């Protein structure tokens, strides 16, 4: 992709201070009568000001100016404005003019306060009133002190009001970009739903950054976010509002959108500037927007509901690798089903409705059961099975991955201990590990503890991984795999042939066993291409000193072909489906290669 030429005249994003000053009239001017009422609270009246001249102390004014200029956070121009604003207070004038002078002084004061001058400087500014502004000598000192206290109170009050406004600004704007945030989006969207009958559309935009940027240029990420915002702002019509929700997530609130087609057109317009790379300080970065949108309709009463629908559309676009998706009722139905499924998994885990079923792995030539793969089975409250991949995904997404792997290891070791007691020949167990497990440095320690607790040997276990699981952090994964092999465990590469760069990786991984994916094995008797693939995998694995398991053997013809290709082990429905532990023991006792008649029905039920 070619970069968009960077314009030196592109509008710079405004900082928080100008934005804040626009959102808060730095000092809300007091009308002359309101100021008179404030004076009365301190025992003064306008006549005390207009009939008796005030005077400034020139020496003190100079000293204050010198002190303020030494403050590192004090802007020189603002200091000068403040000193100039003091001068009119020493003149004789009518009450309205005096009120204007006080308001002018307060405006500059808040500007100085907003610049972040130090506490010492703030005290000095307030004391400026006390040491420079006095009634002429023949007026009582009590009136002088009352005037000083009144004006100091006004300035402190305006500073407090500025702090309150700054806090409200921070609550409603993004910390770095200072764009309106999610809180402001909810407020504005709710007002639109309540007070306006106009149509509106809501877009959520999530940006994915190139992996090369994430790896080597993290310090540039805030600058890339600034460039993203510039391009979004340049693409938005004037009556559209942009909100910054998260680091690289934004929302656009669009009025007068009454159809999904218009939403799609707006989405295309927002995506177009990102067809080119982002140029930040002569470094090019690729950012890809994913957008989900929803149009307002009569059912929308709450902003949260409309935002949730837009997020469903965004998640759908992301998971289906689309650039844009609009909300539909089908997405809600799918989300409801997913939420129920997630709840079923969590309840099953909490109520111990999970078990490990064993599917036999048979020696090709002797026909004896040499091992079994431990496969997860989970039931909901109605006794229905939940697909194992869904169970694993939910548990790890919900932060229960560590608890699950502890359960898996301990359950596997308990079953291995029972097998050791009840079956004379040694039977190894295969356990499937996820990508998250492969970067869990505590896992070898947990397995060692469980082996000791259940008095079983590490050599009984084969730990199965997939190539795709190595993509998260291959260096850490290989390191942990070597720890397992040093303990005596064997490692197997599952679903071989479906991952990335299988052959080049197999040579360097500490793998003892290769499991050919069943998608190649199942039709080997009817597909010359599948047979060639299987034969090639077996030959290559043997050449590297690895043994091979063929998964998905479902009939006698398939078994005969696999046997002719010199594959050592077979797994599949031809021998048995995954069985509950007690049924697995019974299957072994009934001769292994043919399922006992009373087990056939159970095998069908637990497939």
Residues 157 and 247 in one domain: no
Give yes or no: residues 250 and 305 share one domain: yes
Q: Let me know whether 205 and 315 are in one domain.
A: yes
Instruction: Give yes or no: residues 236 and 304 share one domain.
Output: yes
Length of the chain counted residue by residue: 607
End-to-end CA distance of the chain: 49
| Residues 128, 212 within the same domain | no
133 lies in the same domain as 231: no
CA 114 – CA 112 distance, rounded (Å): 5
Q: Which domain holds residue 322?
A: 182-327
352 CA to centre of own chain: 30
25-54 burial code (b ≥16 CB/10 A, e <16): ebbeebebeebbebbeeeebebebbeeeeb
- Indicate the residue among 120, 141, 171 that finishes a domain: 171
Contact 243, 186 (CB under 8 A): no
In sequence order, the β-bridge partners of residue 551 are 571
**Distance of CA 25 to CAs 156, 459, 556, Å?**
15, 76, 85
49, 302, 329, 331, 396 from 336: Cα distances, Å: 72, 19, 11, 9, 20
Work out the burial of residue 161: count CB atoms within 10 Å of its CB; fewer than 13 is exposed, 13-18 middle, 19 or more buried.
middle
| pLDDT (0 to 100) of residue 346 | 94
Q: Distance between CA 371 and CA 361 in Å, rounded?
A: 5
165, 20: one domain = yes
Nearest to 541 by CA among 572, 513, 577, 562: 513
Structural domains in the chain (count)? 2
Long-range CB contact pairs, 79-85, < 8 A, 24+: 79/112, 81/108, 81/111, 82/108, 82/109, 82/112, 82/125
| Residue numbers in the chain where pLDDT is lower than 70 | 1-28, 51-61, 63-64, 67-68, 71-75, 78, 86-93, 116-140, 210-221, 258, 298, 468-472, 497-505, 591-607
CATH number for the domain including 312? 3.30.70.270
Tokens of 366: 């002797």
382 inside domain:
no
The reply to whether 193 and 291 lie within a common domain is: yes
Residue at 390 is within a domain: no
With a CB cutoff of 8 Å and minimum separation 6, the contacts of 204 are 245, 249, 250, 251, 291, 292, 293, 307, 310, 311, 313, 314
- Return the pLDDT at 12: 33
Task: Establish if 381 belongs to a structural domain.
Answer: no
Beta-carbon contacts of 201 under 8 Å, excluding residues fewer than 6 positions away, are 253, 254, 257, 262, 263, 266, 293, 294, 295, 296
Express each pLDDT in 291-349 by its tens digit: 999 988 767 778 888 999 999 999 889 888 899 999 988 888 887 788 888 899 999 99
Same domain, 25 and 125: yes
22 & 164 share domain: yes
Is 430 contained in some domain?
no
Q: Please write down the HEC assignment for all residues of 203-229.
A: EEEEEEECHHHHHHCHHHHHHHHHHHH
Contact 36, 50 (CB under 8 A): no
Q: Going by DSSP bridges, is the β-strand pair 513-516/283-285 parallel, antiparallel, or unpaired? A: unpaired
CB atoms within 10 A of CB 23: 13
Residue for token pair 């002359």? 32
Query: HSE (CB half, 13 Å, CA atoms) of 243?
Result: 20
Residue 59: the pLDDT is 65
* 194 shares a domain with 51: no
59 found inside a domain: yes
Pairing of strands 200-209, 287-295: antiparallel
Query: Are residues 232 and 149 located together in one domain of the fold?
Result: no
- Spatial neighbors of 416 by CB under 8 A, at least 6 apart, are 429, 454, 456, 460, 461
Quick one: pLDDT at residue 62?
Answer: 73
Nearest Cα to 477, choosing from 431, 436, 429?
Answer: 436
8 A C-beta contact, residue 122 and residue 115: no
- 553 near 570, Cβ under 8 Å? yes
- Encode pLDDT of 376-416 as tens digits: 999 999 999 999 999 998 999 888 999 999 999 999 999 99
Report the candidate in 122, 128, 65, 54 with the shortest Cα–Cα distance to residue 92: 54
Residue 263 within any structural domain of the chain? yes
* Residue that terminates a domain, selected from 122, 152, 171: 171
Residue 376 lies in a domain: no
Tell me how far apart the alpha carbons of residues 394 and 400 are, in angstroms, rounded to a whole number. Answer: 8
**pTM of the model as a whole:** 0.57
- Choose the final residue of a domain: 171, 191, 206: 171
CA distance 576 to 358: 9
Evaluate whether residue 465 is within a structural domain: no
């Amino acid at each position: 992709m070619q970069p968009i030429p960077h314009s030196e005249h592109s509008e710079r994003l405004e900082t928080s201070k100008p934005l804040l000053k626009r959102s808060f009239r730095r000092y809300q001017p007091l009308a002359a009568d309101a100021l008179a009422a404030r004076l009365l609270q301190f025992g003064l009246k306008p006549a005390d000001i207009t009939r008796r001249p005030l005077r400034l102390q020139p020496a003190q004014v100079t000293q204050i100016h010198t002190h303020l200029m030494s403050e590192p956070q004090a802007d020189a121009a603002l200091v000068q404005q403040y000193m100039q604003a003091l001068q009119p207070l020493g003149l004789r004038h009518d009450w309205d003019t005096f009120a204007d002078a006080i308001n002018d002084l307060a405006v500059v004061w808040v500007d100085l306060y907003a610049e972040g001058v130090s506490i010492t400087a703030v005290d000095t500014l307030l004391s400026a009133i006390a040491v420079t502004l006095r009634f002429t000598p023949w007026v009582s000192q009590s009136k002088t002190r009352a005037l000083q206290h009144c004006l100091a109170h006004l300035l402190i009050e305006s500073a407090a009001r500025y702090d309150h406004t700054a806090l409200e600004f921070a609550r409603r704007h993004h910390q770095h970009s200072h764009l309106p945030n999610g809180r402001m989006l909810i407020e504005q969207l709710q007002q639109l739903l309540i007070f306006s009958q106009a149509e509106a559309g809501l877009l959520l935009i999530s940006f994915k950054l190139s992996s090369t940027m994430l790896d080597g240029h993290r310090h540039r990420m805030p600058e890339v976010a600034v460039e993203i915002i510039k391009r979004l702002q340049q693409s938005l019509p004037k009556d559209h509002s942009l909100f910054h929700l998260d680091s690289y997530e934004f929302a656009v609130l669009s009025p007068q959108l009454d159809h999904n087609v218009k939403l799609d057109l707006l989405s295309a317009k927002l995506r177009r500037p990102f067809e080119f790379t982002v140029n930040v300080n002569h470094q090019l970065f690729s950012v890809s927007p994913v957008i989900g949108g929803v149009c307002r309709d009569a059912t929308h009463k709450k902003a949260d509901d409309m935002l949730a629908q837009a997020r469903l559309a965004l998640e759908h676009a992301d998971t289906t690798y689309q650039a844009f998706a609009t909300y539909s009722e089908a997405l809600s139905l799918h989300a409801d089903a997913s939420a129920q499924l997630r709840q079923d998994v969590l309840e099953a885990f909490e109520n111990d409705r999970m078990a490990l079923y064993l599917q036999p792995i048979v020696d090709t030539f002797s026909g004896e059961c040499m091992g079994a793969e431990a496969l997860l089975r989970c039931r909901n409250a109605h006794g229905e099975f939940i697909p194992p991949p869904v169970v694993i995904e939910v548990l790890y997404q919900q932060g229960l991955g560590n608890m699950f792997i502890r359960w898996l290891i301990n359950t596997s070791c308990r079953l291995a201990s029972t097998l050791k007691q009840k079956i004379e020949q040694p039977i190894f167990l295969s356990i499937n590990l996820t990508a998250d497990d492969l970067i869990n440095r505590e896992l070898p320690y947990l397995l060692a503890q469980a082996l000791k607790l259940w008095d079983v040997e590490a050599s009984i276990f084969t730990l199965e991984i997939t190539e795709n699981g190595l993509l998260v952090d291959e260096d850490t994964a290989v390191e942990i795999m070597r720890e397992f092999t040093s303990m005596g465990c064997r490692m197997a590469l599952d679903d071989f042939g479906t991952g990335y760069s299988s052959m080049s990786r197999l040579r360097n991984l500490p793998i003892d066993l290769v499991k050919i994916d069943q998608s190649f094995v199942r039709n080997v008797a009817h597909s010359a291409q599948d047979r060639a693939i299987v034969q090639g995998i077996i030959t290559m694995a043997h050449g590297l000193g690895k043994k091979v398991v063929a998964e998905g053997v479902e009939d006698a013809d398939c078994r005969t072909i696999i046997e002719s290709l010199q594959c050592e082990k077979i797994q599949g429905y031809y021998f048995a489906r995954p069985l509950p532990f007690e049924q697995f023991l019974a299957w072994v006792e009934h001769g292994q290669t043919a399922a006992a008649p009373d087990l056939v029905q159970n095998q069908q039920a637990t497939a």
